[in-house]
Amino acid sequence: MRKTFKYRLFTTRLQSEALDGQLSEACRLYNAALQERREAYRSNKKSLNYYDQANQLKEIRAAGDLALANFSCCQDILRRVDKTYKAFFLRMKRHQKAGFPRFKSRHRFDSVTFPSYGDGVKLTGNILRVQGVGEVEVKLHRPVAGKIKTVTVKRECAKWYACFSVECEAQPLPILNNAIGIDVGLDSFATLSNGETIPNPRWYRKAQAKLRRAQRRVARRKKGSRRRKAITLLQKIHARIFRLRNEYQHRQSFRLVRDFGMIVVEDLNVKGLAAGMLSKSVQDAGWSSFIAKISYKAENAGRQLIAVNPAGTSQTCICGATVRKSLSDREHVCVECGLIAPRDVVSAQVILQRARISPSSDNVAAVSACVA
């Protein structure tokens, strides 16, 4: 299984400049590849694929038009463009709000990936050799456990990091025969089928207010260094929220995987959920990244994660009857079987029930799609 290890890089000023240079070249390539696809589509309704673009790389580099040092990095950028295009067409197909792939500003383009370790990047002791940059010191606060596959060099709030994606052995936990269903909460982060709720953490609201203030400050300021400063501050707040949320999700997903043999969630890829009323709260809570965390931890521990069809989970009773509820109805009251319970708990129970009824082979595919 794959794991990621992230480390701070101690760069000299020259190295930071070299890294900045590599990123802006990568950004230029990204935008050029996007431009080419747009034009090909506009002028003769032809869509380019990854290979159409990758085949031109050698020539471009030979002509000295691209100063991104490592060839595989260039290929990786083109693969990113390909991925955003595929995601765009998938959204169109699902009749979701599509949003055409956008050009990136060099300030927002903040990482390059070396797709095969040893090609352009190598770690010896605490020194990382990066092609086009040199030997950079890494703060190895814990050892890289496993076989390094890819390395991503990243800029975050004007600091540099290296992310190592590592292949390592799974460590199964003792087998458990219990199961739990999880529902995306409206008021809380999530609700479990055993009646428990995972609350939204307290820092969340506070951080949101701070974020809005910082956003207003950026909007007020005109172009220039004062605006740049405000933007850096805004990025810092974003990074902090990301860090806190990530840590919270790691703690919660760890607990679920430790305590339950089978974990059942709604399949977010089913059309309608993301586009519907829930979309805002789903995005806010970072639901898909939470499921991704459960997924790899479950794989590591030998637990089962199942994604079920989300259609109507909030409008059904565990007895099978339809119980219509609007968003403001917090209580589930079934006239058929007499069940009275909080709505989210019933939804979580319906989700759990679906995993037990429908064949699991279909669901395995759904989970892998869910994580991708």
The residue ranges that bind Zn ion (CB under 5 A) are 317, 319, 321, 334, 336-337, 339
Provide, rounded to whole angstroms, the least separation between the CB of residue 312 and Zn ion.
Answer: 14
In the bound state with Zn ion, the residue whose beta carbon lies nearer, of 307 and 348, is 348
In the bound state with Zn ion, the residue whose beta carbon lies nearer, of 319 and 327, is 319
Provide, rounded to whole angstroms, the least separation between the CB of residue 342 and Zn ion.
Answer: 14
- Return d(Cα 155, Cα 121) in angstroms, integer: 17
Provide, rounded to whole angstroms, the least separation between the CB of residue 98 and Zn ion.
Answer: 39
Query: Angle formed by the axes of helices 13-44 and 71-93, to 10°?
Result: 50
SS3 322: strand
> What is the H or E stretch that residue 371 is in?
helix 360-371
Q: Positive or negative CA dihedral for 300, 302, 303, 305?
A: positive
Provide, rounded to whole angstroms, the least separation between the CB of residue 338 and Zn ion.
Answer: 7
Provide, rounded to whole angstroms, the least separation between the CB of residue 346 and Zn ion.
Answer: 9
How wide is the angle at C-alpha 173 spanned by C-alphas 356 and 183, nearest 5°?
40
In the bound state with Zn ion, the residue whose beta carbon lies nearer, of 321 and 369, is 321
Give the chain's length: 372
Q: Which of 294, 285, 286, 245 is nearest to 265 (CA)?
A: 294
In the bound state with Zn ion, the residue whose beta carbon lies nearer, of 162 and 323, is 323
In the bound state with Zn ion, the residue whose beta carbon lies nearer, of 239 and 321, is 321
Provide, rounded to whole angstroms, the least separation between the CB of residue 181 and Zn ion.
Answer: 16
Q: Which residues pair with 6 in a beta bridge?
A: 163
178-193 exposure pattern, b = at least 16 Cβ within 10 A, e = fewer: ebbbbbbbbeebbbbb
Provide, rounded to whole angstroms, the least separation between the CB of residue 245 and Zn ion.
Answer: 36
Kindly provide the residue ranges of all beta strands, DSSP E only, lying in 140-269, ordered along the sequence.
147-156, 159-167, 179-184, 190-192, 197-198, 262-266
In the bound state with Zn ion, the residue whose beta carbon lies nearer, of 11 and 314, is 314
What CA dihedral angle connects 337, 340, 344 and 346, to 10 degrees? -30
Provide, rounded to whole angstroms, the least separation between the CB of residue 334 and Zn ion.
Answer: 3
- Return d(Cα 65, Cα 58) in angstroms, integer: 10
In the bound state with Zn ion, the residue whose beta carbon lies nearer, of 158 and 319, is 319
Going from the C-alpha of 138 to that of each of 13, 19, 124, 215, 220, the distances in angstroms are: 15, 14, 10, 33, 38
In the bound state with Zn ion, the residue whose beta carbon lies nearer, of 82 and 183, is 183
